[in-house]
Amino acid sequence: MRALVQRVSRCSVRVDGKVVSRIGPGLLVFLGISVRDGREDIDYIVQKVVNLRVFDDREGRLNLSLVDVGGELMVVSQFTLYGDARKGRRPSYTEAAPPEVAEALYRETCRAFDAAGFPPALGVFGARMEVELVNDGPVTLLVESPTRS
């Protein structure tokens, strides 16, 4: 599982020109799900994201987590995080989970964030979305769950 995490001042998601979700200061997580992912990956990503120390403390150091600052959270599915562009010009998505598997794991991940005390604003799975964000910092990190064979 891959989570591209961005610290944001604000962000919103539009589908068909209508805002379907928005948050203020917090984290935007673009979530990619692979064919190998399961419950262990969900637990890892949720705990890692909510505890990442990516917010400024009083000295201006990245030393506080979402838990510490009580920020908001948005989770948007993004299968293209598993695009492999090493060969040719068209990315291969063979490592991305098929939509029906990915959607179930996406929803389970969102429930796990909620259970951890951070009910996420959501994108619309499978929709063509316009994600508008103000990256604060900028701070952007790629978090991956441990690889299993």
Catalytic residue positions, numbered: 78-80
Asked if residues 63 and 57 have their Cβ atoms less than 8 Å apart, the reply is yes
Rounded distance, CA 138 to CA 149, Å? 34
For residue 96, give the DSSP letter: B
The CA distance from 12 to 74, in Å, is 9
β-bridge pairing 55-56 and 121-122: unpaired
